[in-house]
């Protein structure tokens, strides 16, 4: 069963959505080999000395196309309403580090689109803006070029139709192959079907507002995102990924 959450974890997740709590702790034994560091254990930056500003996220136009019936959401499934996302505070000087950076993927030849589209700033839900990867667990990876402190990661999978992507996992590492020093920031693979450990994070339905993953100041050069199809089909889609943070001096 994918994207499972307990009711108790729902509360935790709801709290996480107000950006006050930590993200999931991975409990897959296999991950011992990959030296995963749960985000909660990452040393918090010295926030007191840094002035905070609201993260400005440019949103595309809403574009649910041909959805036969609007999807209502249970508390365990989150969907921000337009203008309802709580302000997300970041340190002054935080920028989009991923813009036009190099993207690699488990499949370098997507079925539709090019990898460059993931970081080109085009977040529209229309045809021509999304990249389609084949079925099964697929990942995309962004090279930020330098070690960076991550404040937030925004991801738009597909928002022309109501759907939820399975096994959304967001990781950061200094290792290009993600074999060591891996920090998991988000994981909603609740049945471990993607083999990265059982995740406790919430399932969500993609909208034009995208999904915000708290970076919690985790440090790394590479950002990797996994998915394993959606409630619509087996394919994996991405429209845009924006990694916000600062390069570490």
Partner 1 sequence: MLVAIIGRTYQLDKRPMHLDEAVHAIKFIDLLENGNYRYDPHEYHGPTLYYLSLPVAWLRGQTSGAELTETTLRFVSILASILFFIPLFFMGKITKGHTPVAAALAIAISPIAFYYSRYYIHEILLTGFMFAFIVSAWRYTINHKWGWAFTAGLFLGLAFATKETITIAITAIAVAFVSTTLTEANLRKRLYKKTDWRHILLALVALLAVITLFYSSFFTNFLGILDFMKSHFNFLNRAGGQGHAKPWFYYLKMMVYFKDRPGFNATEIYFILPALATGIVAFSGKIKDEQTRAFVKFISIYSLTLIIIYSCIPYKMPWIALNWMQPITVLTGIGITLLLGKISDKILRFIIIIACLLSAWHLGYQIQIENGRFMCDSRNPYVYSHTGTDFLRLPKMINAVAAIDPLNKSMPITIISDEYWPLPWYLREYSSVGYWQSVPEQPIESPLIITSIDTATKLYETLGSKYVQGIYGLRRGVILVAFVRNDLWKKYLEQKTTN
Which residue ranges make up the site for partner 1 (CB under 8 A)?
A: 1-8, 10, 66-69, 71-77, 111-112, 127-128, 132, 160-164, 166, 190-192, 198, 203, 205, 229-234
Among candidates 164, 214, 178, which has minimal Cα distance to 23?
Answer: 214
CA distance 134 to 237: 9
**Which CB sits closer to partner 1, 152 or 155?**
155
For 172, list phi and psi in degrees, rounded to 5: -130, 145
Q: How far is the CB of 133 from partner 1 (least distance, A)?
A: 12
CA quadruple 188, 191, 195, 197: dihedral sign: positive
Q: How far is the CB of 238 from partner 1 (least distance, A)?
A: 14
**Which CB sits closer to partner 1, 141 or 230?**
230
Q: Which residues make beta-bridge pairs with 173? A: 222
CA distance 141 to 30: 21
Q: How far is the CB of 33 from partner 1 (least distance, A)?
A: 16
Using DSSP's 3-state secondary structure scheme, residue 166 falls into coil
**Which CB sits closer to partner 1, 52 or 231?**
231
**Which CB sits closer to partner 1, 63 or 95?**
63
Q: How far is the CB of 62 from partner 1 (least distance, A)?
A: 15
Q: How far is the CB of 163 from partner 1 (least distance, A)?
A: 7
CA distance 193 to 199: 10
**Which CB sits closer to partner 1, 160 or 241?**
160
């Amino acid at each position: 069963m994918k994207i499972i959450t307990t009711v108790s974890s729902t509360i935790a997740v709801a709290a996480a959505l107000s950006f006050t709590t930590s993200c999931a702790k991975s409990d897959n034994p296999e991950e011992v080999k990959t030296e995963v560091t749960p985000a909660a254990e990452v040393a918090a930056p010295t926030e007191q000395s840094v002035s905070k500003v609201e993260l400005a996220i440019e949103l595309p136009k809403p574009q649910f196309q041909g959805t036969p019936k609007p999807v209502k959401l249970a508390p365990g499934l989150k969907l921000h309403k337009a203008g309802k996302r709580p302000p997300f505070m970041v340190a002054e000087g935080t920028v989009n580090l991923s813009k036009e950076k190099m993207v690699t993927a488990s499949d370098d030849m997507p079925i539709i689109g090019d990898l460059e589209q993931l970081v080109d700033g085009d977040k529209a839900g229309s045809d021509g803006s999304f990249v389609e990867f084949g079925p099964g667990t697929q990942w995309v990876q962004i090279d930020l070029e330098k070690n960076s402190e991550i404040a937030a990661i925004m991801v738009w999978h597909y928002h022309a139709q109501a759907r939820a992507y399975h096994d959304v996992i967001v990781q950061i590492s200094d290792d290009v192959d993600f074999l060591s020093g891996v920090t998991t920031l988000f994981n909603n693979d609740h049945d471990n079907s993607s083999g990265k450990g059982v995740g406790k994070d919430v399932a969500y339905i993609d909208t034009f507002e995208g999904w915000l993953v708290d970076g919690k100041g985790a440090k790394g050069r590479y950002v990797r995102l996994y998915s394993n199809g959606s409630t619509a089909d087996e394919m994996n889609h991405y429209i845009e990924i924006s990694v916000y943070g600062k390069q570490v001096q």
